[in-house]
Structure 1
Amino acid sequence: MDLGVWLTGKGASSAYGWTVADRYGRDVLAGDWRKPKNGRTVDLVIEKGLVVEEPSSGYVGAVVRWEHGVVDLEDRHGKIKTYPLGPGFWVDGKPVNLIAPKKAAPAKKTHTASGSVAVSNVRAKVARASRIYVEGRHDAELVERVWGDDLRIESVVVEYMEGIDDLPAIVNRFRPGPGRRLGVLVDHLVEGSKESKIAAEINNRDVLVVGHPYIDIWEAIKPSSVGIAAWPKIPHGQEWKKGVLETFGWPATDQADVAAAWKHILSKVRSFADLEPELLGRVEELIDFVTQD
Structure 2
Amino acid sequence: MPGGDEMNGHGSGHTVNIELGETSVDEKSPNDDGIHPSVFGKSTLSVPTTKEPGDSEGDLQSEFSTISLNSGIPQGAEGDYDLPMSDEEHKKIELARWVSYVSIFLSLLLGSLAIGYGSKYGGLSIVALGLEFYIDLVSSVLVLWRFKTPKHRHFQDRGQALAKKMQRDAIRERSSSFWIGVLFLLLGLWVVIEAIVKLHENLSWKKRQLMAEAAAGVAWPSAVLFSALVWWKFRLAAALHSQVIRKDAVCSLFGVVLSLVVGIAALVDIYGSRQHKGSHGDMGGDGIAAILLALFILGEGGLTVYRNTCGWWESKEEGAFSHQQMA
- Larger gyration radius, structure 1 or structure 2: 1
| Bigger helix fraction | 2
Please report the TM-score for the alignment, with normalisation by the length of structure 1: 0.25
Q: Choose between structure 1 and 2 for higher RCO, CA contacts under 8 A separated by at least 6 residues.
A: 2
| Bigger strand fraction | 1
